[in-house]
A and B are shown apart, each in its own frame.
Chain A
Amino acid sequence: QSVLTQPPSVSGAPGQRVTISCTGSSSNIGAGYDVHWYQQLPGTAPKLLISGNTNRPSGVPDRFSGSKSGTSASLAITGLQAEDEADYYCQSYDSSLSGYVFGTGTKVAVL
């Protein structure tokens, strides 16, 4: 079981804004470790979406944004599009486990 908890699913109509939460603890997000986000389309490798809590790699649309506060982080998708249907994972480091950890994953559905 992961130490980073995400909602199993979120959904929204095209054009709407959705957010995905990533809840950790004092040994990971709350300890100040960076949070990163990945998008995984079916049958493909994950793709880095947000690094270092808020940074978008080149080529990632500005519809995607990240934030972090306390022991949690969030990914927001504005102007939801059909192509955004995918699984999304947060990732950080946990000092108690002495290793990197992923969130439980969230499936985004576009209605």
Chain B
Amino acid sequence: QVQLVQSGAEVKEPGASVKLSCKASGFSFTTDFMHWVRQAPGQGLEWMGLINPNDGNTMYAQKLQGRVTMTRDTSTSTFYMELSTLRSEDTAVYYCARRLCRSTGCVYGGDAFDIWGQGTMVIVSS
């Protein structure tokens, strides 16, 4: 079935980096952009960025520019999100989420997120 399966929980020290994975199955890997969204404990959802699996082009949230890198491996249908220089405020559940376009086609800025991974908890603590 259509699903996104994410890697397991991580515990990192401040200043370290973390690289999470999101493996897609049940749909065409190259068809739809993949977004990353995070949620700090007890807080709301925060969009982090997206990657085009066709060419690897990315777009990141201004707040995370310079610290986040999104990549993909077409041979394994897997997306990756790496966040560097971790701070305590980066403690959150991280989700990957597949783009859904309008029935009439994809438009810039129109993405919804229809399939979500189960989430990966990242704890940043010394």
What bracket does the count of chain B residues touching chain A fall in? 20 to 34
Asked if A93 and B112 sit within 8 Å, CB to CB, the answer is: no
Does A84 sit at the interface, judged by CB under 8 A?
A: no
Asked if A97 and B62 sit within 8 Å, CB to CB, the answer is: yes
Asked if A48 and B113 sit within 8 Å, CB to CB, the answer is: yes
Which residues 51-79 of B have a CB within 8 angstroms of A? 59-62
Contacts of B119 in A (CB 8 A): 45
What bracket does the count of chain A residues touching chain B fall in? 20 to 34
Asked if B47 and A101 sit within 8 Å, CB to CB, the answer is: yes
Contacts of B116 in A (CB 8 A): 45-47
Interface residues in chain A, defined as those with a beta carbon under 8 Å from any beta carbon in chain B: 2, 33-34, 36, 38, 40, 45-48, 51-52, 55, 57, 89, 91, 93, 95, 97-105
Q: Which 6 A-B pairs have the closest CB atoms?
A: A93-B109, A45-B116, A36-B112, A100-B47, A51-B112, A102-B45
